[in-house]
Amino acid sequence: MTARTLGPALLFCPADRPDRYAKAAERSDAVVLDLEDAVAPSAKAAARAALVDTPLDPARTVVRVNAAGTADLDADLDALRRTAYRTVMLPKTASAADLDALEGFATIALVETAAGVLHAAEIAAVPHVVALHWGADDLVASLGGTASRHPDGRWRHVALHARSTVLVAAGAHGKPAYDAVHMDIGDLDGLAREAADAAASGFVGTACVHPSQVAVVRAAFRPDDAAVERARRLLDAASRERGVFRFAGRMVDGPVLAHAREVLRRAGSTEDAAPRPVQR
């Protein structure tokens, strides 16, 4: 399994709530069983037991473990080895060295500290890192700040800097990236705008904290019929042209054709879509 096959809507579920596991899996593209922030310290042992005793499809399940260098991570890995789960998310990934303990697991590196943002490229270069994800609240806390968003819901500049840095670092190493969660559950319009921007910018998905967010994220990452038809007509025209040409009043060159191929890939078409190149 690769992170790209998980789908655009990842849904977090507390690992100490096995009664929610199946519902979370049914309502999302992939479920993230959370052993970290969603679980109180006193409940972590019970959460690990639930992880072992309540299996889900490993191809659509990610386990968020605790941070590197903690006794909780050691206990998490002991529990994971008793399951079929081999895709994990490491929170607060600050450097490539933080990932050493997870060799053998396909790892989504969650970059959410100042050190992690500075080292995003080296984190993305680790072979068993299959994707990057970023978080804003822990990042701002690590800087001594008090809010990652403006009162109107817009990201503050420091959060946008981290978002862009993580996306570029992932892309430079041929890895996909997931956008941060939208914590205001009732603000579906804001989520829709953010997810649409994420899709247009190159993220492959957005993490969700509530099932109501899943449909919004899926819609943002699924090109509509008009976009698919435009992409097909553009690529058809390109097959009859040589070099730069004009289409529907717009100059078309290589990057524009790449955008069209990506629209078809996201729409599930393979006839014109080319795989994204991996840079090494």
Instruction: Give domain limits for the chain.
Output: 9-221, 225-267
pLDDT of residue 191: 97
Superfamily classification of domain 9-221: Phosphoenolpyruvate-binding domains (3.20.20.60)
DSSP, residue by residue, the chain: --GGGG-SEEEEEETT-GGGHHHHHHTSSEEEEESSTTS-GGGHHHHHHHHHHS---GGGEEEE-PPTTSHHHHHHHHHHTTSS--EEEETT--SGGGGGGGTTSEEEEEE-SHHHHHTHHHHHTSTTEEEEEE-SHHHHHHTT-S-SB-TTSPBPHHHHHHHHHHHHHHHHTT--EEEPP---TT-HHHHHHHHHHHHHHT--EEEESSGGGHHHHHHHHS--HHHHHHHHHHHHHHTT--SSEEETTEEE-HHHHHHHHHHHHHTT--SS--PPPPP-
pLDDT of residue 270: 32
| 241 known ligand binder | no
| 86 known ligand binder | no
pLDDT of residue 89: 98
Buried b (16+ CB within 10 A) or exposed e, 108-122: bbbbbbbebbebbee
pLDDT of residue 275: 35
Q: pLDDT tens digits for the chain (280 residues)?
A: 455 568 999 999 999 999 999 999 999 999 999 999 999 999 999 999 999 999 999 999 999 999 999 999 999 999 999 999 999 999 999 999 999 999 999 999 999 999 999 999 999 999 999 999 999 999 999 999 999 999 999 999 999 999 999 999 999 999 999 999 999 999 999 999 999 999 999 999 999 999 999 999 999 998 877 777 787 887 878 788 878 878 887 887 788 888 788 778 777 733 433 333 333 2
Q: How far apart are CA 50 and CA 85, in angstroms?
A: 13
pLDDT of residue 274: 37
Return the half-sphere exposure (C-beta side, CA atoms, 13 A cut-off) of residue 261.
Answer: 16
Give the number of other CB atoms < 10 A from CB of residue 1: 15
How far is the first Cα of the chain from the last one, in angstroms, to the nearest whole number?
20
Yes or no: say if 75 and 44 are a contact pair by the CB < 8 Å rule. yes
| 64 known ligand binder | yes
pTM for the whole structure: 0.85
56: left (phi over 0), alpha (psi -120 to 50) or beta: beta
